[in-house]
Chain A
């Protein structure tokens, strides 16, 4: 889950990483206690908001009110701005980049630091990014931090301050099950000391149960995707018009891929998983119907799951509730013959092979 900037900064505060003086502003008269000049920042879970006009500075009340009205409610890459953070401006001596993320290949947290702060890290050449991997069994040690600080070539006092921030974000990364903690920029103030001007904190969804203090607020799902999530069904809406139901994530992806060989395009990814529970099958079809695909392509491989049980569930839904688009099925594995008979009986079209079924689906979706 991606936290908003202000929520990430609240965590920074808890971990003793200093952030600018500021708070969320509710409406255009809510500026008490904030000193000019300050910056108004749209809270959205996506990068590039500055370029989109979501960050503006204000020198006085009139400006602040005007700019607040522009930002609140604006649309940034599909996200409507519902929260605006106001922060007092700080005099900057130097901007750094600092982050911790997961290195999947090394299976370790990876710390990255650079003196090229304030810009998109993707555009910083690799030679200017200093990296340090931390074995989670030993955790962060002074030698890791020394190595980074030496490479950054900072003034001695500044180096000491940055070192403290590195060990604090590592602690945050581990304790809050983060996928990413990024500070860009981490600034060195003219008057001395360091401060996080931005925050990106992503928490691993699988670990949310142990972070009850984090309120989910970012909606990255479509209403149907949200509905599916509550029902425990893997459901993703895509751009095409063929709804794919399969069992297993890999098989569902491979089924979507197969369509492209016949110029078909998947509109829904629906992974039934290892279930043959008629209730789940029913829910899956209901969700699929709501997504209004032109064709439904059901691709099943029966391993532990028995094809005939799933087929019975499908037949039940279709005969009871009806379906207003063609359903192509391709069934393979445990009890496939019985399953095919059941589906034929329900009036569905069965393809002989994956290729055949993918072609039939694509043709019908045109």
Chain B
């Protein structure tokens, strides 16, 4: 099974002909992803890594049956690209682009709900279901097929954690990068619900960080609705208030969003919080 992305995902890459597009179309195909089309306005008819390029998403959906879009376009054009993907009928949209004005994100996140689509990101590394598909810019070599679900607000930190799981022989069902922005489409709660239903997933790992209250809300949700074990790591214990720590969403504002509050909330929900990111693998090994 896996969540949000699997063997049925047929991917159209928006922003396919740029440096990033070309590189990641190659890397995704190598992983086994069904990349069926690319879109770059004005470059229809070309090919990238043998993948046909179209001028718009509608044609890619009509002719190549694409159902999932990967957005790699620059921030200024991202809102337009997401709206186009949703209107063309894509049911999953993964937005990698960083620095999108949050007012734009607010609009397309709400529109995705109206369209009953899953929107992942923005400012995220994408999603990988090992053995099935990878939609995004995550490095393919760190994954191993298995039954731990991972949902994270960070990129490299997730790779680090996933890599340490794989090194211990602990495989993953799906790893989803939720994104480092204040407004994101898919949340910890959405991921937890999906992992709960997924037969392949036995336990999940949440990688949170300072800013907002998503972890606190997830902790409340776990108490009531999640029966599978959950483990967590929180970055930013030492971050000072008022500073944006790299991610637009990683900021302690008006006393809200501290690591301390998140760790406490998880502990109250019986979620073990690791001290070091690489400890997660040890904790899972000893408790499952």
Interface residue ranges, A against B (CB under 8 Å): 102, 104-105, 107-109, 122, 135-137, 174, 177, 179, 204, 206-207, 209-210, 234, 236, 238-239, 246-254, 256-261, 265-266, 269, 271, 274, 301-304, 332-334, 353-355
Those of B54-113 within 8 Å (CB) of chain A: 75-76, 99-103, 106-107, 109-111
Our pick among B110, B141, B217, B248 for the contact of A135 (Cβ within 8 Å) is B110
Chain A contacts of B255 at CB under 8 A?
122
A282 to B268, CA, bound (A): 45
Asked whether, in the complex, the Cβ of B183 is within 8 Å of the Cβ of A251, the reply is no
Chain A contacts of B183 at CB under 8 A?
102, 104, 107
Looking at B2-10, B33-41, B206-214, the stretch in contact with chain A turns out to be: B206-214
Chain B contacts of A333 at CB under 8 A?
139, 142, 159-160, 163
B137: interface (CB < 8 Å): yes
Interface residue ranges, B against A (CB under 8 Å): 27, 75-76, 99-103, 106-107, 109-111, 114, 137-139, 141-142, 152-160, 163, 180, 182-183, 207, 209-210, 212-214, 217, 233, 235-240, 243, 245-250, 254-255, 259, 275-278
Asked whether, in the complex, the Cβ of A206 is within 8 Å of the Cβ of B155, the reply is no
A236 to B246, CA, bound (A): 9
Chain B contacts of A269 at CB under 8 A?
245-246
Our pick among B137, B138, B160 for the contact of A251 (Cβ within 8 Å) is B160
Our pick among B159, B240, B254 for the contact of A301 (Cβ within 8 Å) is B159
A239 to B236, CA, bound (A): 15
A194 to B77, CA, bound (A): 40
Asked whether, in the complex, the Cβ of B212 is within 8 Å of the Cβ of A249, the reply is no
Asked whether, in the complex, the Cβ of A250 is within 8 Å of the Cβ of B157, the reply is yes
- A302: min CB distance to chain B, Å: 8
A174 to B249, CA, bound (A): 19
Residue among B137, B159, B209, B213 with max Cβ neighbours from chain A (10 Å): B159
Residue among A207, A249, A302 with max Cβ neighbours from chain B (10 Å): A249
A250-B156, A253-B236 known; A236+B102 contact, CB < 8 A: no
Our pick among B27, B212, B233 for the contact of A254 (Cβ within 8 Å) is B233
Chain A contacts of B249 at CB under 8 A?
104
**What are 26 A-B pairs at a CB distance below 8 A?**
A105-B213, A108-B110, A136-B106, A137-B110, A177-B101, A177-B103, A204-B101, A204-B102, A206-B99, A247-B156, A248-B154, A248-B156, A249-B180, A249-B247, A251-B277, A253-B157, A253-B209, A254-B277, A256-B238, A257-B259, A261-B276, A266-B238, A332-B160, A332-B163, A333-B160, A334-B141
- A110: min CB distance to chain B, Å: 11
Our pick among A238, A332, A334 for the contact of B240 (Cβ within 8 Å) is A238
Chain A contacts of B100 at CB under 8 A?
206
Asked whether, in the complex, the Cβ of A334 is within 8 Å of the Cβ of B276, the reply is no
- B136: min CB distance to chain A, Å: 10
Chain B contacts of A355 at CB under 8 A?
276, 278
Chain B contacts of A104 at CB under 8 A?
182-183, 212-214, 249
Asked whether, in the complex, the Cβ of A251 is within 8 Å of the Cβ of B156, the reply is yes
Residue among B27, B155, B248, B275 with max Cβ neighbours from chain A (10 Å): B155
- B216: min CB distance to chain A, Å: 9
A136-B106, A355-B276 known; A250+B155 contact, CB < 8 A: yes
Residue of B nearest to A135 (CB): B110
Chain B contacts of A105 at CB under 8 A?
212-214, 217
Residue of B nearest to A104 (CB): B212
Our pick among A136, A251, A260 for the contact of B237 (Cβ within 8 Å) is A260
A206-B101, A250-B157 known; A301+B247 contact, CB < 8 A: no
Chain A contacts of B158 at CB under 8 A?
250
Our pick among A102, A236, A260, A353 for the contact of B245 (Cβ within 8 Å) is A236
Our pick among A137, A260, A271 for the contact of B246 (Cβ within 8 Å) is A271
A249-B250, A250-B158, A334-B139 known; A206+B238 contact, CB < 8 A: no
